[in-house]
Structure 1
Amino acid sequence: MMRDAMTLAFTMLGGGMAAILILMLVAKLTGRVNVEEKQGRKPVYNIQAEVKGKRTLVEADPENPNIPKTRYFLTFHKRDGIRLEMEVPGEDYGLAAEGDEGILVYSKGDEFIVFKRT
C-alpha cells in the first residue's frame, strides 16, 4: 500500500515536471516567433549614399571585462544631405572606404542591413 502511494506520487511529480518543461518550451518558442514577426514588419529602405567616415569604439565586453570589444561604425551621406551613422559588422567596416558610393539598405530605427557598392 505504502509502495503504491509512493509510486503514484513519483509518477505524478514526474508528469507534473514534464508538463512544466513542455509549457516553458512552448512559451519560449512563442516569444521568439513574436519577436521575429515584429522585426520582420520593419520597413526596409534602399537609398543612394556615400561613405563619409569610419570609426571604432573599443570598450570592455559586458560578459568579460578583461576582454576588449570593438564596435564598428560607418557614416553615410544621403543625397538629401542627411548623414546617418550606423553600427556595422566588422567585415563591412573593413571593406568600406571613405568615398565609396552605392545603395545603403537599412531598416527603421537606422539598423544597418547591407551596403552595396555601385
Structure 2
Amino acid sequence: MGMGPDPSWMFDFAGTVIPIFLVVMIGIVAVSAGRGLLQWSRNNSSPMLTIPACIISKRYEIKQQASQEEGGSSRASTLYYLTYEAESGTRMEFKVEGSEYGMSAEGDRGLLTYQGTRYYGFQRYPHYSTAE
C-alpha cells in the first residue's frame, strides 16, 4: 500500500467527465446551428410581402463587451428595433440600421416589406401638415 492520496480518481475524471462535457458542448453547437438553418429555410420559403403598416414602437439595445487587454477598455454596440402593426392588428418587430431608426417616428404609416423574419424596408406615406 502506497503513501498519499489515491491517484486513480484522475483517470476516472479524464475518462468520463471530459468526454461527457465535450458531447454536451457539441450538442449545444449542433442545436444552435440547426435552429439557424431552420429559420433561414423558413424565411426562404415564405413569400415576400408588402403591406400597409404603422410604426408603434422603437427600442434599442446596447451590448457592451469587455476587452481582454490590460487597459481594461470595453467596446459597445447598439442594436436598433422597430415594431410595426399591420392593419390586421398583427405586430412584428425587426432589427433595423441606426440611420433608419433615427429617421423613424412612432405613428409613421407606410408600406412594410418583409419575408418571414427578414426586414427589407419601410416606405413612408407622405405626411402633410394641416397647420397654416
The 4+ residue runs of structure 1 with deviation greater than 6 A are 38-41, 62-65
Structure 2 spans left out of the alignment, 5+ residues: 1-40, 126-132
Answer yes or no: is the 8 Å Cα contact 2:66–2:74 preserved in 1. no
Aligned length: 80
TM-score normalized by the length of structure 1 = 0.59
Instruction: State the match for 2:52 in structure 1.
Output: 48
Name the structure 1 match of 2:106: 98
Q: Which has the higher helix share?
A: 1
Is 2:80 aligned against 1:72? yes
CA shift for structure 1 position 43: 2.7
Q: What residue in structure 2 maps to residue 112 of structure 1? A: 119
Gaps of 5+ in 1: 1-37
Shifted more, 83-92 versus 57-66: the winner is 57-66
Root-mean-square deviation (CA), in Å?
A: 2.5
Identical counterparts, % of pairs:
31
**What letter matches 2:122 in structure 1?**
F
For 1:105, give the aligned amino acid: T
Paired position in structure 2 for 1:59: 63
Pair 1:89-2:89 in alignment: no
Q: Kindly state the Cα deviation for residue 111 of structure 1 after the two structures are TM-superposed.
A: 1.2
